[in-house]
Amino acid sequence: MNWQFNNQTIVRKSPVVIVKTFLVLQLTAVAVFFLAGVAADYGELYSNLPFSKSLSFHIAEIAGIFVLETILVFYIFFSWHKEYYSIQRDQITHAEGIIFRKKSTTPIGAIYSVDYRQGPLGRLTKYGHIELRESNSGKPIILDNIPEPQQYVELITHLKNNIQKTGNHVNKPLRKIIAEGEHEGLEFKTSFRWDIHQDKVNKNLEKAVMKTIVAFLNSEGGRLVIGIDDTGKIVGLENDFKSLPKSNTDGFQNHFTNVFHTMIGPEFRQFIELTFHEVDDKNCCLISVLSANRPTYLKLDDQEEFYIRTGNGTTGLKLSEAASYVDSHWRGKLI
């Protein structure tokens, strides 16, 4: 079971865990109750209580069992609900605990092997354990009781490979990126939504940005700088800011995310990172795009369009061409 939140994938353990935990605790409670009953006479102990004459032992026993079972059910459910794994573009976080929270983080870049295993019950109910090994430690990290583990093994492996491919670009100054000029992995956009020629908001500009991002996702990734014209001149984001209800970087990122979710889909947000930089006293937005682990489409008016990068441009593919490209680009990777 997973949910997409912004740039992370939240994975909860299989609901089968709830059943297994309940059975274990239930059997434990029965054993404790039986052993305590052997050691002491519940009826005799109850008769010494002040309210024993107004409430029969059997009713009190039923009420006690009901309360205990209710507490047990709530404890098991909230323990399951509050525990999750967060898979982000560069790390995996494990959070657990109902009241006292505990979090541990594993950098994806430090992982050198990813595998999974399933027992007979796991194969039947489609869950298993993911085993991660870090390069600086021989001890494996276990993500246990994960639904559809093969899916997440593929995702983690893909993110790990992306980090290895893009390692040279990390923390590279924006001026040096701009100095490269546009190429297959880099494109400039003057604005995200404000048309300087028409002096108004133009939704086609948003579409153009999303089209480029889809092409990067379907290719080898890339970077998109907004606030720079085709010649590399710094334009800034001030006009975009003024067109938004919240005229700052937070408002820009919120609007970008809304458009992204509508035109591409929240499940791909984990492959995108937005950072803002000040160049010549003007704000620019750098969008770093990793290659996606499966085909990505641009959604427009109930239609889906497929794009890839060819040279320093974005090219749309017909259905037959897209099918052939998907087969070759993701061969052996799709689940």
CA angle 156, 332, 13 (to 5 degrees): 35
pLDDT in tens, 268-300: 988 898 999 998 899 999 999 988 988 999 999
Quote the tokens at residue 242: 């003024």
28, part of any domain = yes
106 and 124 share one domain: yes
Q: CATH number, domain at 151? A: 2.30.29.30
212, part of any domain = yes
238 and 187 share one domain: yes
Of the residues 149, 166, 183, the one at which a domain ends: 166
334/216 Cα distance (integer angstroms): 18
CB 155 within 8 A of CB 142: no
Residue 39 has pLDDT above 80, yes or no: no
- Residue 43 pLDDT grade (very low, low, confident, very high; cuts 50, 70, 90): low
152 and 243 share one domain: no
295, part of any domain = yes
156 and 102 share one domain: yes
Q: CATH number, domain at 273? A: 3.30.950.30
> What is the pLDDT, as a whole number, of residue 137?
65
DSSP letters, 58-118, are: HHHHHHHHHHHHHHHHHHHHHHHHH-EEEEESSEEEEEE-SSS-EEEEEEGGGEEEEEEE-
150 and 3 share one domain: yes
Residue 132 has pLDDT above 80, yes or no: yes
Give the CA radius of gyration of the chain.
Answer: 27
The number of helix segments (H) and strand segments (E) in the chain equals: 10, 17
274/86 Cα distance (integer angstroms): 19
130 and 234 share one domain: no
Of the residues 112, 145, 166, the one at which a domain ends: 166
141, part of any domain = yes
Residue with tokens 């975009």: 240
CB 127 within 8 A of CB 147: yes
Task: Give the mean model confidence (pLDDT) for residues 57-64.
Answer: 76
CB 149 within 8 A of CB 130: yes
203, part of any domain = yes
- Residue 245 pLDDT grade (very low, low, confident, very high; cuts 50, 70, 90): very high
Number of domains in the chain: 2
127 and 210 share one domain: no
183/267 Cα distance (integer angstroms): 27
100/328 Cα distance (integer angstroms): 48
- Residue 3 pLDDT grade (very low, low, confident, very high; cuts 50, 70, 90): very low
191 and 162 share one domain: no
Residue 4 has pLDDT above 70, yes or no: no
Of the residues 137, 166, 195, the one at which a domain ends: 166
254 and 180 share one domain: yes
308/93 Cα distance (integer angstroms): 32
152, part of any domain = yes
Residue range(s) defining the domain that contains residue 209: 171-329
Residue 30 has pLDDT above 90, yes or no: no
Q: Write the CA distances from 31 to 22, 25, 27, 39, 264, integer angstroms.
A: 14, 10, 6, 12, 54
236 and 308 share one domain: yes
β-strands 186-189, 222-226: how paired?
Answer: parallel
